[in-house]
Amino acid sequence: MVKIVIALLLTVSLNANFKKDCVACHKSKGVSLRKAFMDALLVYGGKKNFKTALFYYCKNPVIFNSVMDEDLVKKYTPLKPITIDDDELKKLLDEYWEKFKVIGNLK
């Protein structure tokens, strides 16, 4: 599996909320969600590949599947697999995609 960026969802609860869990965790770690999104988008190129790869990364976060820069990998690994159910994770990924996608968000 190609690498994917995310220190995202390290401490996501069973009732995940994008702003509360994803954004708060990234902010506390000093990891930009926008940069993480753009790095992953460069690797995966499209919505389906992006969301599929991120889903599997969140379920099984291993170093060689990460597109994080080397300093972040050293600082935040090993990551723990998230504990939310698959449907909730898919909703979070949908929200992440909608928030940072380029097409439709340019003004």
pLDDT in tens, 32-52: 888 888 888 888 888 999 999
For residue 11, being part of any structural domain is answered with no
For residue 1, being part of any structural domain is answered with no
Q: Is the pLDDT of residue 83 over 60?
A: yes
pTM for this predicted structure: 0.72
For residue 62, being part of any structural domain is answered with yes
| DSSP at 82 | P
List the domain range (segments joined by +) for residue 32: 18-100
Residue 1's Cβ-count burial label (10 Å; 0-12, 13-18, 19+) is exposed
- What are the backbone angles phi and psi of residue 21, rounded to the nearest 5°? -95, -55
Percent of the chain with pLDDT over 70: 75
Tally of domains within the chain: 1
For residue 13, being part of any structural domain is answered with no
Average predicted confidence (pLDDT) for the chain: 75
Percent of the chain with pLDDT over 90: 14
The pLDDT score that the predictor gives to residue 14 is: 39
Distance separating alpha carbons of residues 93 and 89, to the nearest angstrom: 6
For residue 106, being part of any structural domain is answered with no
